[in-house]
Chains A and B, each alone.
Chain A
């Protein structure tokens, strides 16, 4: 029985875990208890992941320790490569080997060479992409001397396997997590309310918004050739809202679980559909992943190729490479490559536009930020929503059919009358339009009046008890 965040089993598990953690006095005891509970959590998803994460934790700790104690640059570089191989090896083997063999087989087939490709993924390891990235960031940050190695193995082990973030992030850096050990997981009254607030908000986003959309949107995405253009538009927007509510809901619950133990996670979604350009979107959507690719892929590519004379050529090439890798991170599929490529081209185009724009005075910049033009938002949202078609369909061919039928406004096909898609998506977009984009209601709530808080939490609980569909839908981002 998998312990998904929205299951009754997980609530029981969390309560028991919190009881043990807060009843323990010593930090070392709390640390090992968290490791044990994290393994118990992870084992409900299968033993493979537990074995791989153990290997990754041991390898990364050893590499980090060696990097921290070695001065000679040549030796440090060798340890860096060992660390990267130890992290990327399992990821490439388990997740991508079948995909890569399939590509090679396609090229060799005309030459009469037939390769049988293994299934992809070879074995599904839930959370592999997430803890691999956490491990890479640890090793690279130590190499860059941006963070010291962990004080001891138990603290590093706890960081890597910590269950609130293990299977679908946020991708928390060791430099954000490890210093919090010295605070000993002390929880204040406000932490308790905020943690519960995140859990409630996250559950509502997932169960009330995402799951209500899922069945209708899923039907449309599975067979676009059968639906009219207007239905396809609704399906596209519905999927965009579904995936936002699903994943931001998961992230909220992860942040809430950690906060109940006195641990602060970074925010992962910052009202992304309020963005006025695609660059801003990527500062607000899956922030921890976006910043990971920025720091460990894009910026090193940029600095490594600064000899390229043309700024636009250099930056555009590196943006597209980064976004294609970002797409591939989601899974071994041409759909994700296409999605990443689309965002790469959009970001490159924006970069060229931003570099060519005239000089601004600070006052002019500030007023433009406050206005946030409707047209810019609509354009940004349009690009993002088109990208989601590649995410939601199962093959590239299906995505092309989907987009072509919308583009040509196909009149044939069934109209799916969903009572949920338009009202729910309108509500979410309205919130993104009207609420200040950098506002965090969950963090602000404890400072409101008691009556306001009781009303808010009461509404959330009412929504959870009355608006949740009967069929449970798995979290979308757990499969990446």
Chain B
């Protein structure tokens, strides 16, 4: 389940008003989310949640569901 907060962070970085994001959504399916914007999306997610990713963690991600789980694990470690 993709949280509204994550959706807001991603769509905000891509300057999209709306787009359906599911667990299995990959970057190529979302307009404007390509390798050129990928880091900006990740930085926006970091800023939104107040967390920090390691490069290796982000490079391993294959879909939005995995990003959600990574965010959840970071938030759990922080609390």
User: Which residues of A approach B to under 8 Å, CB–CB?
Assistant: 144-146, 279, 283, 294-295, 298-300, 302-304, 306, 311, 314-315, 319, 347, 350-351, 354-355, 357-362, 365-366, 369
Give per-residue flags for B39-64: 1 if the beta carbon is below 8 A from chain A beta carbons, else 0: 11011000000000001101110000
Cβ contact within 8 Å between A315 and B16:
no
A interface majority secondary structure: helix
* Complex contacts, A366 vs chain B, CB 8 Å: 31
Task: Say whether B4 faces chain A, with CB atoms less than 8 Å apart.
Answer: no
Given the contacts A283-B34, A303-B39, A362 and B18 also touching, CB distance less than 8 Å: yes
Classify chain B's interface size.
20 to 34
Given the contacts A294-B35, A298-B35, A302-B38, A361 and B55 also touching, CB distance less than 8 Å: no
B interface majority secondary structure: helix
Cβ contact within 8 Å between B36 and A360:
no
Cβ contact within 8 Å between B34 and A279:
yes
Cβ contact within 8 Å between A303 and B58:
yes
Residue ID in chain A nearest B12 by CB atoms:
A359
- A355–B37 alpha-carbon span in the complex (Å): 8
* Complex contacts, A350 vs chain B, CB 8 Å: 36
Question: Closest Cβ of chain B: how far from A308's Cβ, in Å?
Answer: 10
* Complex contacts, B55 vs chain A, CB 8 Å: 300, 303-304
Give per-residue flags for B1-42: 1 if the beta carbon is below 8 A from chain A beta carbons, else 0: 000000000000001111100000000100110111111101
Residue ID in chain B nearest A368 by CB atoms:
B31
Cβ contact within 8 Å between A358 and B15:
yes
Q: Give which listed residue, B16, B37, B38, B58, contacts A359 with CB less than 8 A.
A: B16
Cβ contact within 8 Å between A299 and B59:
yes
Cβ contact within 8 Å between A302 and B34:
no
Q: Which 8 A-B pairs have the closest CB atoms?
A: A303-B55, A302-B39, A365-B31, A361-B17, A294-B35, A351-B36, A359-B15, A362-B18
Question: Closest Cβ of chain B: how far from A224's Cβ, in Å?
Answer: 33
Cβ contact within 8 Å between A299 and B38:
yes
Cβ contact within 8 Å between B15 and A311:
no
Q: Give which listed residue, B31, B35, B59, contacts A360 with CB less than 8 A.
A: B31
Cβ contact within 8 Å between B36 and A315:
yes
* Complex contacts, A365 vs chain B, CB 8 Å: 16, 31-32
Cβ contact within 8 Å between A306 and B39:
yes
Question: Closest Cβ of chain A: how far from B55's Cβ, in Å?
Answer: 4
Can you name 19 extra interface pairs (CB under 8 A) apart from A315-B40, A360-B16, A362-B18? A146-B60, A283-B34, A298-B35, A299-B35, A300-B55, A300-B59, A303-B42, A303-B58, A304-B55, A319-B36, A347-B36, A351-B36, A354-B37, A357-B15, A359-B17, A360-B17, A362-B19, A365-B32, A369-B31
* Complex contacts, B40 vs chain A, CB 8 Å: 311, 315, 355
Q: Give which listed residue, A283, A355, A361, A369, contacts B18 with CB less than 8 A.
A: A361
- A57–B32 alpha-carbon span in the complex (Å): 38
Cβ contact within 8 Å between B37 and A299:
no
Question: Closest Cβ of chain B: how far from A294's Cβ, in Å?
Answer: 4
- A144–B42 alpha-carbon span in the complex (Å): 18
